[in-house]
Amino acid sequence: MANPKYAESGKPAPVAELVATLSDGTKVKRRIPRMRACGEKDAKGKLCAGHLKRWYFFGDEVQRKFGADAEIYRCEHCHTLYLPNPEEEPRTGTLSY
């Protein structure tokens, strides 16, 4: 009997939606819930899978479009920008134990 944990689901895999494209060609996408790695594919169809890191030092164009205090994440390999998912808690606060 097959393991139900690895059974195929009838639901399609979630995809990060494209929000905007900056003047230099950089894509801005919205993260899917619990997303930690980039889902961008190159010309050959290979997945980037770069780690998404919080980005603080963005340029004027990003500040104008999303605000000076925006929570922006950037892929360490392809430099695609990601906005946080509105369904998740913001990660801007200090952790408290």
Task: Please write the tens of the pLDDT for every residue from 49-59.
Answer: 999 999 998 88
Contact 18, 73 (CB under 8 A): no
Annotated domain spans of the chain: 15-83
The stretch 20-32 carries a mean pLDDT of 93
Q: How far apart are CA 54 and CA 29, in angstroms?
A: 14
Q: What angle do CA 60, 65, 49 make, to 5 degrees?
A: 90
Task: Please write the tens of the pLDDT for every residue from 58-96.
Answer: 889 999 999 988 899 999 999 999 999 888 877 666 555
Q: How much is the pLDDT for 94? A: 57
Contact 46, 69 (CB under 8 A): no
The stretch 26-46 carries a mean pLDDT of 91
To the question of pTM greater than 0.75 for the whole model, the response is yes
| 19, pLDDT greater than 70 | yes
